[in-house]
C-alpha cells in the first residue's frame, strides 16, 4: 500500500495546522485564538450548509475548504496585510482598523507574488503526498486562489465570512472597529445575492439586533432561515474552543479541539477514502465533519470520564490502560451516549431547513450505529485519527503513553486500508 505510506507523511505534517493560531486574532490580542485547523473545520461546515442552499457541488466545496489553508503548514497563517503593517504594536493595531488601499499595479504584483510563494510552499508539502492526491488537492487550491469555478468563487466568499465571524465572536463590541476591514473586503468581494443577504443577517445580529431589516429584500421566509443558519454556524463555532477530553485528562497542554479532530478525520476520509472506490466520497466527508457535532451541547466525552476515581494515583493508573468493560457495560454506555447525543443533534439542527437537517441527522445516526459501509470505514479511521494524534503527543511529551490507543485500534480495525495505515504508523513512529 504505497499510497497509504506516502500519504501518512503528508497527514502527519498537516497536523501542525492545529498548533498554528489565526494570525489576525493574535494581532488583535485575542487570548488562545482558534487554530487554522479549527477555522478550516467550520468553513467546511459553512460551505456545506450554505452551498446546499445555493445548489453548489458539496464534495467540491468541502474539499476546497480542506485544501485552502494547507500551505500554512510551512508558511504560517499569512494575512492579506503581509508586508504592510508597522512593527510598533500601537501603530499596527491602528492600521488594522481599515482594509488595504493600494494602487492597482501594486495589488496585482502582491497577488502574483503571494500566489507564487504559496505555490512553492504548497508544493513542498504536497511532495509528501502521492501524485494522484497531490494533483487533486492542488487543483482545488488553485480553483480557490484563482477564482476559477463557481464553487471556487463562492468558497472564497464563505472563507472571508468565516474570518469575519471569528473576529466578531472573539472581540468585544467596543472593539468592532477592528472588524471594519473584513466588511470592506466583503464589499469588494461579494457578488452573490444570497451571500449578500447572509451578510446583512450577520450585520443585524452583531451590530443592531433590534433594528429591523426590510423583509422585502429577502423574499418569503428567507430572512428567518438565514438567521437560523447563522445561529447554527455560531453554535458549531463552540467546537473550535472545546479541547478533547482524552488529552485533557492526560495533561496535554493546549490539546487538539473537537473541531481540530473533525478536520483531521475529514482529511483522512478524503486521503484514504480515495483507496475505497466502492464508498461514496461526499458522504464520507460530510459524515466526518458532523460525527461529533453533538459535543456542542454534551461537551466532549470519553469512556473514562464516568469511571475515574478521585485519587490521583488511581486515576493515573487507569488512564494508562485501555478501559476494560463488560459487554453489558459497553451496551449500556452506548445506549446512554446515543440518546444524549441524539437529543443534542436534534437541538442543534432543530431550526435548519428540513432537508439539510434530515441529512445531518441521518449521517450522524449512520455513523453512530455504523449502519453503512461509509460509517464502518469512517469509524475505523476515527480510531486511527485519535491514534495518530496520540503518537504525535507521545513524541512530544515523555509522560504520554499511546499504548491504550494502540490496543483500541488493534481491537477495532479490520479494514485493509486501515490495517496498512496502522502498520505505516508503527514504522513511522517506532522505526
Q: Which residues bind other proteins (CB under 8 A)?
A: 57, 60, 80, 98, 101-104, 107-108, 110-112, 114, 132, 135-136, 138-140, 142-143, 146-150, 153, 177, 180, 183-191, 196, 199-200, 203, 207-208
Element (H, E) at 189: helix 180-189
Judge whether 65 and 267 are in contact, CB under 8 Å. no
Which of 32, 208 has the CB closer to other proteins? 208
Closest CA relative to residue 81, chosen from 99, 97, 60: 99
User: CB 339 → other proteins: shortest distance, Å?
Assistant: 39
DSSP 92-155: HHHHTTS-----HHHHHHHHHHHHHHHHHHHHHHHTTS-HHHHHHHHHHHHHHHHT-SHHHHHH
User: CB 66 → other proteins: shortest distance, Å?
Assistant: 14
User: CB 108 → other proteins: shortest distance, Å?
Assistant: 5
Burial of 280 from C-beta contacts in 10 A (0-12 / 13-18 / 19+): middle
User: CB 160 → other proteins: shortest distance, Å?
Assistant: 9
User: CB 416 → other proteins: shortest distance, Å?
Assistant: 23
Which of 104, 354 has the CB closer to other proteins? 104
Contacts with 378 (C-beta within 8 Å, 6 or more apart), sequence order: 265, 269, 284, 287, 288, 291, 367
Which of 281, 302 has the CB closer to other proteins? 281
Gap between the Cα atoms of 34 and 32, Å rounded: 7
Which of 212, 324 has the CB closer to other proteins? 212
Q: Tell me the HSE value of 364 on the side-chain side, using a 13 A CA sphere.
A: 24
C-alpha cell at 396: 512530544
Which of 32, 193 has the CB closer to other proteins? 193
Which of 11, 168 has the CB closer to other proteins? 168
User: CB 84 → other proteins: shortest distance, Å?
Assistant: 11
Gap between the Cα atoms of 15 and 256, Å rounded: 10
User: CB 42 → other proteins: shortest distance, Å?
Assistant: 22
Which of 173, 326 has the CB closer to other proteins? 173
Say which DSSP state 292 is in. T
Amino acid at each position: 500500500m504505497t499510497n497509504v505510506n506516502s500519504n501518512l507523511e503528508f497527514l502527519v505534517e498537516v497536523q501542525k495546522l492545529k498548533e498554528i493560531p489565526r494570525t489576525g486574532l493574535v494581532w488583535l490580542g485575542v487570548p488562545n485564538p482558534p487554530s487554522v485547523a479549527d477555522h478550516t473545520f467550520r468553513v467546511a461546515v459553512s460551505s456545506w450548509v450554505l452551498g446546499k442552499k445555493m445548489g453548489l457541488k458539496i464534495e467540491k466545496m468541502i474539499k476546497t475548504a480542506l485544501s485552502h489553508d494547507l500551505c500554512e503548514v510551512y508558511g504560517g497563517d499569512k494575512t492579506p496585510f503581509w508586508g504592510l503593517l508597522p512593527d510598533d504594536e500601537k501603530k499596527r493595531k491602528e492600521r488594522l482598523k481599515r482594509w488595504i488601499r493600494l494602487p492597482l499595479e501594486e495589488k496585482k504584483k502582491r497577488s502574483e507574488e503571494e500566489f507564487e510563494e504559496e505555490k512553492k510552499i504548497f508544493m513542498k508539502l504536497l511532495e509528501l503526498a502521492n501524485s494522484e492526491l497531490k494533483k487533486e488537492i492542488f487543483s482545488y487550491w488553485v480553483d480557490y486562489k484563482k477564482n476559477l469555478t463557481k464553487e471556487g468563487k463562492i468558497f472564497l466568499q464563505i472563507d472571508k465570512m468565516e474570518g469575519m465571524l471569528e473576529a466578531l465572536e472573539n472581540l468585544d463590541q467596543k472593539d468592532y472597529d477592528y472588524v471594519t476591514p473584513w466588511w470592506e473586503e466583503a464589499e469588494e468581494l461579494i457578488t452573490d445575492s444570497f451571500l449578500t443577504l447572509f451578510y446583512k443577517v450577520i450585520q443585524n445580529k452583531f451590530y443592531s439586533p433590534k433594528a429591523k431589516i426590510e423583509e422585502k429584500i429577502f423574499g418569503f421566509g428567507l430572512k428567518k432561515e438565514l438567521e437560523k443558519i447563522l445561529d447554527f454556524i455560531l453554535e458549531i463555532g463552540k467546537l473550535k474552543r472545546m479541547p478533547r477530553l482524552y488529552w485533557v485528562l492526560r495533561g496535554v497542554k493546549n490539546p487538539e479541539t473537537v473541531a481540530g479532530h473533525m478536520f483531521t478525520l475529514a482529511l483522512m476520509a478524503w486521503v484514504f477514502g480515495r483507496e475505497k472506490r466502492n464508498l461514496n466520497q461526499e458522504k464520507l466527508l460530510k459524515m466526518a465533519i458532523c460525527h461529533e457535532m453533538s459535543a456542542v451541547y454534551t461537551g466532549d466525552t470519553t469512556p473514562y470520564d464516568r469511571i475515574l476515581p478521585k485519587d490521583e494515583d488511581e486515576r493515573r493508573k487507569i488512564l494508562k490502560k485501555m478501559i476494560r468493560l463488560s459487554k453489558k457495560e459497553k451496551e449500556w454506555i452506548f445506549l446512554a451516549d446515543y440518546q444524549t447525543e441524539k437529543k443534542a443533534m436534534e437541538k442543534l439542527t432543530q431550526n435548519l431547513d428540513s432537508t439539510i437537517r434530515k441529512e445531518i441527522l441521518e449521517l450522524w445516526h449512520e455513523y453512530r450505529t455504523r449502519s453503512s459501509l461509509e460509517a464502518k470505514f469512517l469509524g475505523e479511521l476515527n480510531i486511527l485519527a485519535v491514534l495518530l494524534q496520540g503518537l504525535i503527543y507521545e513524541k512530544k511529551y515523555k509522560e504520554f503513553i499511546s499504548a491504550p490507543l494502540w490496543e483500541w485500534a488493534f481491537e477495532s480495525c479490520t479494514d485493509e486500508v486501515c490495517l496498512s495505515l496502522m502498520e505505516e504508523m508503527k514504522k513511522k513512529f517506532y522505526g
